[in-house]
Amino acid sequence: MRKRELKNVEWSIIIVAIILSTIGLIALFSATQEAEYDEFNKQCIWLVISIISMVIVTLIDYDFFIKISPFLYGIFIVLLIAVLFTPSVNGATSWFNIGFFSFQPGEFAKVFVILFLTSSIIKVQQKGKREINKPLKLLILLSIVLVPILLIVKQPDYGTAMTFIMATTLMLISAGIDKKYIFISIALVAILIPLLYQFVLPEHAKKRIDIFLNPESDPRGAGYNIIQSKLAIGSGGLTGMGILKGNQTQMGFLYPKTTDFIFSVISEEMGFVVAGTIVILYVFLVTKCIYVAKTAKDDAGTLIAAGISGVFLFHMVENIGMVMGLLPITGVPLPFISYGGSSLITNFMCIGLLLNISSKRQKAIFIR
């Protein structure tokens, strides 16, 4: 990477990612002591692999990834189909189990769908910026995202599917989609939500929504996890009960405490100060992602950064919202903090793309 590009890199993004990952490792260390720190040790390995992946993605021009994105997209569509035939884990067929490693194609697909959608939008806009607003071309673009969404819903993994929708929305807004389509989409969602709930959603999905609205209706069953999560968050106070000292965490009342409810562990043992700092760091990260999108050298960089902004924004809001009882539980991990190799590697690949895009900006040319 040239000296000029190094000056342009938005280094604060990687600093935030490392801080969040460090907090995640501390929380995992505490949450896995009864399991002899198995998941903590694995996460340390994943973190090293993730950083290596980030460096590779940073050093290779993102134009190359856009060029090969149709091939990568095709591979992961095949993997998303193949994973449907794997044994169910916790009611979902989302993972390939390869020895000690569980590979979740839905996580990696986020990156490659964003890249392929970027490539497709650029091709559509070659004849003019307004081409994207032609209904047929817009439908073609939406179909690119709809295919993986349907396959992921089939697993079922509604949280990841919603992540694709958020990323796509921000990308289309950045591409200059007409506001009428946004208003029409909002109206359709308002109409379809009650219909989907009544006639489409399976019983377990309906149960999650019902429990979200009234967890006390089944305190020893479906509402148990969210009630325990609220107790953990509330008992942490300002500075927390201390690492390895949280009641809900150490006595096994939180589940799954290393993935979905890791924020509850942090809130209980490290308190409001650390939990609040995490929220601030995520807001800063998303803000920087949007800034990279606004200052990118070309439309491709803008679209990729906008898509990544959507991924981080949705994961932050959904995970923290669900453990506090403000949103339905969907199993969405907290970026850089929740346990999971596929999630961590994907997140650092996104950071690599952001660093890559920011390095190509012309900002440093005007600073003499």
Burial-class residue 36 by CB neighbours within 10 Å (0-12, 13-18, 19+): exposed
Quick one: which of 117, 198, 113, 118 has its CA closest to 163?
Answer: 113
Token representation of residue 61: 């021009």
Dist. CA 25–CA 358, nearest whole Å: 28
DSSP string, 101-129: EEE-HHHHHHHHHHHHHHHHHHHHGGG-G
Token representation of residue 338: 């929740």
Dist. CA 50–CA 120, nearest whole Å: 28
Q: Give the type of residue at 227.
A: I
DSSP 3-state assignment of 98? strand
Per-residue pLDDT tens digits of the chain, which is 368 residues long = 566 777 788 999 999 999 999 999 999 999 998 877 889 999 999 999 999 999 999 999 999 999 999 999 999 999 999 999 888 877 778 888 876 677 899 999 999 999 999 999 999 988 877 888 888 999 999 999 999 999 998 888 888 999 999 999 999 999 888 888 888 888 887 787 777 777 667 776 677 777 777 777 777 777 888 999 999 999 999 999 999 998 898 988 888 899 899 999 999 999 999 999 999 999 999 999 999 999 999 999 999 999 999 999 999 999 999 999 888 888 899 999 999 999 999 999 999 999 999 998 765 433 33
The structure tokens 């509402």 sit at 223
pTM for this model (two decimals): 0.91
Cis peptide before 256 (omega within 30 of 0): yes
